[in-house]
Amino acid sequence: MKICGIICEYNPFHNGHAYQIAQAKQQSGADAILCVMSGNFVQRGESAVIDKYTRAKHAVLAGADIVVELPTVFATSNAEIFAKGAIRLLASIPHFLHLCFGAENADKDAFLSTANALNNEPKTVSDRIKRLMSTGKSYARARAEAWQDQLPQALLCSPNNILGLEYTKALLKTESTAEILPVGRVGSGYTERKLSGEYASATAIRNAIGTSEDFSKYLPEFVLNELPKQPETLLPTLEKYAILARSKEEIAQTPDCGEGLENALKDGVERGENDLVETLTSARYTSARIRRILLQNLLQIDRDILADCLQSPLYLRVLAVKKERTDVLSALSESTFPILARAYDDEKLCATAKRCLQIDRFAESVHKLLYPNAKKEKSIFY
């Protein structure tokens, strides 16, 4: 069996995602599309607007054959760790032959050559990145500037290209023979905040939830019918409580924290700052990084468990599968990671994997506080 993997969030699933799945099928010639999808929390440090089981169902209804969960420790991390975690799951599957991802630039050779250069970064470039960061620039901006005379800036500066590079970098470091398949992004840009054109960004759609804007044409009807009426507003309060409840030393152990940010977070909460993200965002510290630190602290994700998860055997937790594709489940059973699809399957797990799964389950409980009417797993077959 030939499997094409897609790493995704589907927050929410929209017509652009359906386009990518169709292109993945057509261009890869794969027998099955396997999505590795974030759970109830996403890489920007936010809660997903729809629970993971419903979003996985949407992907299957739109053409995917099976959806497995990207563990929360990876889904809430920076782009590099997000990509490494997802690729670890895919590379564990012998039938994984293609990786499809959306990109502003669909040049496969450019991705491969650039990723290879980044994987073999010379010390002179690494030193320059550190010097640029010491002036207050973010890592992404410093890296792009340090490589500006040697690598294409378009790949280093555009959101989807950056993620695509991280996927490619991670894939090249595995023993997998899977090939990358970049698909040109259509419609609005990844960070476009306004609804426009034939395809709108997930950001614009999320911003329109709870407003009078009509975004119905950008979503399949089965997604539209299951969107919340209002965006959630409780997460910042829970995150502030977690900052108060935990020590500075504990906060400092969250993967994205560093350089004394734990002090700024503590001080901000104790001063009664209304919006911690807005207060602490700067050229050096992006809003996404601040949100990730707050979320990682709330979910009690620390550097030690993340490091262990990047090295230890994990699992393939199935969220949804097409009814007639039990053959895909059989193919996944050949993975070096166990499948979690039934009660008691977690008895197969090692110590690190059990701890990783505990964090997934804790994240589910927190998400239920934010969305009390979220779907509870009943069946994974659609």
CATH number at residue 174: 3.40.50.620
Please tell me the distance from the alpha carbon of residue 281 to that of residue 70, in angstroms, as a whole number.
27
Contact 118, 167 (CB under 8 A): no
Contact of 360 with 353, CB cutoff 8 Å? no
Question: Running DSSP on this structure, what letter comes out for residue 374?
Answer: P
CB atoms < 10 A from the CB of 222, how many? 13
pLDDT at res. 375:
67
Q: Is 78 in the same domain as 171?
A: yes
pLDDT in tens, 288-317: 999 999 999 999 999 999 999 999 999 999
Assess whether 71 and 15 both reside in one domain: yes
Q: Is 381 contained in some domain?
A: no
- Residue 38 phi, psi dihedral angles, 5° rounding: -55, 150
Same domain? 41 vs 150? no
The per-residue pLDDT for 138 is 87
Q: Which of 157, 186, 221 is the last residue of a domain?
A: 157
Task: Specify if 114 maps to a domain.
Answer: no
pLDDT for 188: 55
Distance of CA 98 to the CA centre of its chain: 19
Query: Are 93 and 16 contained in the same domain?
Result: yes
The answer as to whether 111 is a domain residue is no
Distant-in-sequence, close-in-space partners of 192: CB < 8 Å, separation ≥ 6: 200, 201, 203, 204
Q: Rounded to whole angstroms, what are the CA distances from 355 to 76, 85, 313? A: 16, 15, 12
DSSP classification of residue 61: H
Bridge partner list, 37: 8, 69
Rounded Cα distance between 194 and 180, Å, is 30
Q: Examine residue 354 and state whether it is found in any structural domain, yes or no.
A: yes
Instruction: Please state, as a whole number, how many other Cβ atoms lie within 10 Å of the Cβ of residue 333.
Output: 12
- Cis peptide bond upstream of 313, omega within 30: no
Beta carbons of 315 and 68 less than 8 angstroms apart:
no
In a domain, 288, yes or no: yes
Residues 142 and 175 in one domain: no
Pairing mode, strands 179-184 and 96-103:
parallel
Q: Are residues 169 and 220 both part of a single domain?
A: yes
| The pLDDT value given to residue 36 | 98
In this prediction, residue 190 carries a pLDDT of 54
Q: Which residues of 229-266 are buried (b: 16+ CB within 10 A; e: fewer)?
A: eebbeebeeebbebbeebeeebbbbbbbbeeebbebbb
- Let me know whether 38 and 124 are in one domain: no
Do 170 and 85 sit in the same domain of this protein? Answer: yes
61 and 130, same domain (yes or no): no
- Whether 200 is covered by a domain: the verdict is yes
Instruction: Select from 83, 66, 84, 70 the least CA-distant residue to 30.
Output: 66
What is the span of the domain harbouring residue 147?
119-157
Q: 239 and 291, same structural domain?
A: yes
Which domain-ending residue is among 281, 303, 325? 303
Domain assignment present for residue 286? The answer is: yes
Give the domain-ending residue among 286, 303, 320. 303
Query: Model's pTM, two decimal places?
Result: 0.95
Question: How far is residue 45 from each of residues 22, 82, 190, 256, measured CA to CA in Å?
Answer: 29, 12, 16, 11
How many whole angstroms separate alpha carbon 337 and alpha carbon 349?
A: 9
Single-letter residue type at 18: A
Pick out the chain residues at pLDDT < 70: 187-193, 375, 377
CA-CA distance, 25 to 339, in Å (whole number)? 24
Which helix (H) or strand (E) element contains residue 369? helix 351-370
Residues 184 and 286 in one domain: no
Helix residue ranges, H only, 209-286: 221-224, 235-245, 248-252, 261-271, 276-280
Helix or strand or coil: residue 200?
coil
**DSSP code at position 375:** P
222, part of any domain: yes
Three-class SS state of 5: strand
Quote the tokens at residue 247. 């020590």
Domain tally for the chain?
A: 3
Q: What is the enclosing helix (H) or strand (E) of 34? A: strand 32-38
Residue 86 and residue 29 share a domain = yes
d(CA 136, CA 145): 13
